[in-house]
Amino acid sequence: MALISEQDRQLVAARLATLSSPVRLLFFTQTIGAPESTLIARQIIDEIASISDKVTVEEVNFVLEKERAAQYGVADIPGIVLLRGDEDTRMRFLGAPAGYEFASLLEAVVLAGSTDSGLSAESRRQIAEGVKERLELLVFVTPTCPHCPRAVTLAHRMAVEHPLITATCVEATEFMDLSRQYRVNGVPKTVVNSTGEILGALPEDQFVAAVLPPPVETPPTA
């Protein structure tokens, strides 16, 4: 049974028609002992790929191809990594992108298939000037949260914008150990480099400012 209705397929097709570059979805799974969400995630990405010939799915065995999993920082399954051709966009999904998070996945595919992050000129300037070392963003979500896609997409836009930023959408109820580790009591919650926290779906300017390290003040000259 198809997860995407015929009406929604037409909307998805319209969005995917904007792709200017091929998109590869690396799907990390395993043959034995995979959680049920792995089957759901695979069906979702397969249906997206069936709508556009610019989207392909490549299955990666999480157990047998540990080096490849480590290469992309995938620590569990199901995991999805988005590539623009052979280029890593640094956008990730951990868990099945179901419910409202289907919109996050679709937007990520569109981002991967373009060369524009979609951020404002001011956000781009702040990111270019403020990012000097790696930033790892974990955006915790649930499929029933209508506000979560906004936070996920902003984090993904930042990842596309700068090579030192990686952003992962984490389905909180599938990965309870991670949710407990980062004290996720509500979603969306964005964790920055394992220590910083952003609660809620903020407007772009506030989100970017919250993610970036505070500017270093230059002492006045004598």
In 17-133, which ranges are continuous DSSP H helix? 36-51, 66-71, 101-112, 121-130
**Structural contact between residues 34 and 125, judged by C-beta atoms closer than 8 angstroms:** no
Cα dihedral sign, 118-164-166-33: positive
pLDDT of residue 213: 84
Torsion angle (degrees, nearest 10) of CA 116, 213, 174, 60: 50
Determine how many CB atoms are found less than 10 A away from the CB of residue 8: 15
Residue 203: both structure tokens together: 């407007």
Residue 193: both structure tokens together: 């480099």
Residue carrying the six token digits 């992050």: 117
- At 111-146, the pLDDT tens digits run 999 989 999 999 999 999 999 999 999 999 999 999
pLDDT surpassing 80 at residue 66: yes
Domain ranges of the chain: 6-211
> Does residue 87 sit in helix, strand or coil?
strand
β-pairing, 135-141 with 165-171?
A: parallel
Q: What is the mean pLDDT of residues 80-85?
A: 97
Q: How does residue 177 score in pLDDT terms, banded at 50, 70 and 90?
A: very high
Of 100, 68, 46, 81, the closest CA to residue 167 belongs to 81
Cα 132 to Cα 140: distance, rounded to the nearest angstrom: 25
Q: How confident is the prediction for the chain on average, in pLDDT?
A: 95
Q: What is the mean pLDDT of residues 189-210?
A: 97
- Region 6-211: CATH code: 3.40.30.80
- At 14-55, the pLDDT tens digits run 999 999 999 999 999 998 989 999 999 999 999 999 999 999
